[in-house]
Amino acid sequence: MPKIAVLTFPGNNCETETVRALQNAGFQSEVFLWNRTKDELLEFDGVVIPGGFSFEDRGRSGIVSSQEPIFKTLKIMAEKNIPILGICNGAQMLVESGLILADSNNIPACALLWNKRVDNSGTILGTGFYHSWKNIKPVNIRTPFSNFKQTIHIPIAHGEGRFTFTEEMEKEIIEKNLIIFQYVDDEGNIDDHYPINPNGSFKNIAGLSNPTGNVVALMPHPERADEGNAVFESLWNYFKTPWELNNEKITLTDFLSVERKKTDEAEITVLVRLKITDKTEKTFANVLEEENITRREKWGFYMKNNISSEEKITLLSSIISAGELVNENKQWVVAKIDGEWYDWNEGVGFEKNKPRFEEKNCFIVEEKEDFKGIAKHQHLSHIFPNNNIEKISYGVCWEVPENKKEEYVSHSLFSTRVGDFIKDLV
């Protein structure tokens, strides 16, 4: 009887349902903790990574888990054509690890970005976490997890499920038939608008495979519904009578190198740092085995009119005093206004200072679709009408050791490559 490991990480929460679904399909199955001896995993005939919120989704969903040593074992298993399925958060891990698609430097060649629900008129109805029941149908039945023809109705529950690629990769996945499942309507038709497409994924992708077809990233949850049993029964049938997988490989060059933008030119740059422990900062430091890493939230204000520095200070002071941008009980604030750095002191306001960090050792990661910046701009425009703010941007500012900056700028831990770009602070 085939034995399937349900590989779980801190924060996963669907392991019980996944084990039960596999056992109902006929498999031996057990929960396999991420910190067990990695060679033990090689004793299993397949692996399923369940959903949840591993490591609290620090940084972005799945990125921290994908850096764990156990993924080296998963890569060995993938190269041996052992079936591997990632569900929801597990799918995010597979994408972030490069086990689905990666370039010649093992940098992921696709990304799962924030959900974007768009109607037929092009209006964005919502972003971020969304849960519902959706129809998906298999469009490539030559994988261990998709060898059936019927459309199935199963739940989704995720915030970052929008499969996104470079234009070059869009062509590759279509030509190589890597789209495994798509969101469809009740008649099985594809409509790339909400509500049929719940997250804005390219080509309504609900599930994507690696070129060989043995590793599949699936965003909906088949383990949570009876109709989802078809996924696990397909795997059972594969072990009973294996069919030939695709041996064609995709070799990507380095066209996915991180996109650099010029230094931020916002008239006002606000950096916010936690007074208490920043868990994301500490987690990234642990992954990189690097003590000297500092994380700050970054807000950039671009103004409509050429107002004075004093007017900008007054505007920003009003915004912070209103409780926007920062919680003064647990966060520090510094701001760069027209090239000068200022400290924010509660009850006093902004005072000119020298920054307590090395600007040249900092870089900013921003999303190309900056939903947080857009939302903050709309909100502040309602609270402070006629505020002269043309645009607000949001990002994360990382301060790293000088000799490590270029290395970390190119590290997939910090940027998706596909959905982000990087700026220098100076």
* Cβ–Cβ under 8 Å, residues 283 and 59: yes
What is the DSSP code string of 79-99? HTT--EEEETHHHHHHHHHTS
CA dihedral sign, ordered 203, 208, 209, 210: positive
Decide the pairing of beta strands 3-8 and 46-49: parallel
- What is the C-alpha to C-alpha distance for residues 323 and 312, in angstroms, rounded to an integer? 17
- In this structure, the chain runs to a length of 426
Give every CB contact of residue 130 below 8 A, 6+ residues apart in sequence.
Answer: 115, 117, 156, 157, 158, 159, 198, 199
Residue 411 is among the residues annotated as catalytic for this protein = no
Q: Looking at this protein, which amino acid is placed at residue 155?
A: P
Q: Looking at this protein, which amino acid is placed at residue 370?
A: D
- What is the C-alpha to C-alpha distance for residues 245 and 279, in angstroms, rounded to an integer? 42
Residue 263 CB coordination number (10 Å): 10
The neighbouring-strand residues paired with 218 are 87, 207
Q: Looking at this protein, which amino acid is placed at residue 392?
A: I
3-state secondary structure 238-251: HHHCCCCCCCCCCC
Decide the pairing of beta strands 84-87 and 215-218: parallel
| Catalytic entry in 14, 96, 172, 221 | 221
Q: Looking at this protein, which amino acid is placed at residue 360?
A: K
Q: Is 417 left (phi over 0), alpha (psi -120 to 50) or beta?
A: left
Residue 351 is among the residues annotated as catalytic for this protein = no
| Catalytic entry in 223, 267, 281, 367 | 223
Residue 158 is among the residues annotated as catalytic for this protein = no
* Cβ–Cβ under 8 Å, residues 344 and 372: no
Q: Within 80-182, where are the H helices?
A: 89-97, 167-175
| Catalytic entry in 14, 15, 17, 88 | 88
Catalytic residue annotation: 88, 221, 223
